[in-house]
Amino acid sequence: MNHKTSSISFWNQFFKDYEPVKINKEEVSVTTTLDKYLKQIGDQSENILDIGCGTGYALIGAKLLGNKMKKGVGFDASTHAIRIANKTVELSKIEGLSFEVADESFLSTIPDQSYDGIICSNFLDVIPKEMSHLIIKEIQRILSDEGFFLLKLNFELDEALINKIKMVKIEENTYQIDGVIRAYNLSTDKWIEQFNQLKLLKSDGFQRAPHLPEDRILWFKKAK
């Protein structure tokens, strides 16, 4: 089993027991730093793509918090995650969103500059390096001029944590647990450098859990 197959299998199993929820739109508000950026992209983009969307929380958040967003497409290789995302949208009567089971090859079917907003949350840093680099190139191709890109990354791992949770290094900056890639571990500056067609507008943090360091939020714009 190769790294890609192992990752898909792991995340599909991870989402297996998740359940769709009915969201009351009137109760949705900005309560976290991440919510602030989801609202921002929903306020400034009409057509948003969510890459590696999982159960769709980010795309749904952008739609419900933002005032400009009209349509959104999310894709993920996990059939369970996409089933939950589509059912959540159906139960909550959220219009304009669709979710598809697909891998990174889906990006090659999208014409240049098709989306004025792209979201990628905790995905680029948990896949093989080569796949991550390919997706970064596609993001910059698909994003329209003056479009916005919201990137969320896990916190950078240090050697102490890598050793504590018994991660195995399989190549430069890449670590796995039980045969599944769990970190493509780069500094924030190294991530920013890879998006050479985009301008960084803001670097921020998000406290996902009280006992963990802050995840990283990077907010980009594509200049003409």
pLDDT tens-place string over residues 129-142: 999 999 999 999 99
How many structural domains compose the chain? 1
Share of the chain above pLDDT 90, in %: 92
Q: Which domain holds residue 104?
A: 3-16+32-156+189-219
> Is the confidence at residue 123, as pLDDT, over 70?
yes
pLDDT of residue 209: 85
> Is the confidence at residue 223, as pLDDT, over 90?
no
Q: Is 100 a domain residue?
A: yes
**Alpha helices per DSSP H over 21-73:** 33-44, 57-65
Q: Is 110 a domain residue?
A: yes
Kindly give the pairing relationship between strand 47-51 and strand 115-121: parallel
| Average pLDDT of the segment spanning 3-17 | 90
Q: Is 164 a domain residue?
A: no
CATH code of the domain containing 39: 3.40.50.150
CA dist 154 and 182 (Å) reads: 10
Q: Residue 61 carries which side chain, given as an amino acid letter?
A: G
Contact 118, 146 (CB under 8 A): no
Q: How confident is the model at residue 93 (pLDDT cuts 50, 70, 90)?
A: very high
Q: Is 161 a domain residue?
A: no
Q: Is 163 a domain residue?
A: no
Convert the pLDDT of each residue in 59-79 to its tens digit.
Answer: 999 999 999 999 999 999 999
